[in-house]
C-alpha cells in the first residue's frame, strides 16, 4: 500500500498480509475467543484401555490445548513465527482450533481473519498502539467468551 493511509486495502493486499495473519493466529492461540468447546459423543470411543460411552459430554479447553508445551515451544511466549507455513508442517490440524474444528467449525473464520486484517491494518496505518498493562497482570474471565476482567488499557498515538 506504500504510504497511502487514506484508502482501504484491496482484497489482494489483504490476502498478501501473511505476517499480520500470523500475528492474528498467535493472538488467537493465546487468547481464543471461545475458551472451551463442549461436544456430546455420539458413539462409544475407545482410547487405550478406556471406553468413553456415547452420550458423554466432552469438554475441549482450547485455552489449555493452545498452550500444550509438547506442541508449542515456550507456549506462553507470543511468537507469530509459529504460524509461518514451514513451522506449521507436521502439526496436528486439531492442535490449533480457535474457531472449533470438524463439522461444527465456524463457517465464517476466513471472513473473520480478513475482517481483522482490514481493521488492524487501517488502525495501524494511522496510529501506534501500546499496551499499558502487562499480560501477566491481566485477570481473564472465561464466560461464553474469553475476556479480560477489567478490560484492556492501551495508549494510542497518531503516526506522523
- 3-state helix vs strand vs coil in the chain, percent to 5: 35, 20, 45
Strand ranges for the chain from DSSP E = 37-40, 45-47, 50-52, 57-60, 127-131, 140-142, 146-148, 154-158
pTM here is 0.86
Going by C-alpha positions, the residue among 130, 135, 144 that lies closest to residue 37 is: 144
Establish whether 23 is an annotated binding residue.
no
- What percentage of the chain exceeds 90 in pLDDT? 72
**C-alpha cell of residue 132:** 499499558
27 vs 16: CA distance, rounded Å: 19
pLDDT 10s digits, 100-147 = 888 888 888 999 999 999 999 999 999 999 999 998 898 988 877 888
63 vs 85: CA distance, rounded Å: 22
Annotated domain spans of the chain: 11-158
Q: Is the dihedral of CA 85, 87, 92, 95 positive or negative?
A: negative
The domain made up of 11-158 has a fold known as Cytochrome p450 (1.10.630)
For the beta carbon of residue 146, count every other beta carbon within 10 angstroms: 17
pLDDT 10s digits, 54-69 = 999 999 999 999 999 9
Q: How confident is the model at residue 2 (pLDDT cuts 50, 70, 90)?
A: low
Amino acid at each position: 500500500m506504500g504510504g497511502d493511509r487514506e484508502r482501504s486495502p484491496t482484497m489482494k493486499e489483504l490476502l498478501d498480509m501473511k505476517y499480520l495473519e500470523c500475528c492474528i493466529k498467535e493472538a488467537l492461540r493465546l487468547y481464543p475467543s471461545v475458551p472451551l468447546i463442549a461436544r456430546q459423543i455420539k458413539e462409544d470411543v475407545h482410547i487405550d484401555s478406556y471406553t468413553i460411552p456415547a452420550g458423554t459430554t466432552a469438554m475441549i479447553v482450547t485455552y489449555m490445548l493452545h498452550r500444550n508445551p509438547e506442541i508449542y515451544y515456550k507456549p506462553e511466549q507470543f511468537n507469530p513465527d509459529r504460524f509461518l507455513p514451514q513451522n506449521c508442517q507436521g502439526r496436528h490440524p486439531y492442535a490449533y482450533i480457535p474457531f472449533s474444528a470438524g463439522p461444527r467449525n465456524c463457517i465464517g473464520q476466513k471472513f473473520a481473519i480478513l475482517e481483522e486484517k482490514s481493521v488492524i491494518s487501517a488502525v495501524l496505518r494511522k496510529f501506534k498502539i501500546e499496551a499499558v498493562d502487562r499480560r501477566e497482570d491481566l485477570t481473564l474471565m472465561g464466560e461464553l467468551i474469553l475476556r479480560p476482567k477489567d478490560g484492556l488499557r492501551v495508549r494510542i498515538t497518531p503516526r506522523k
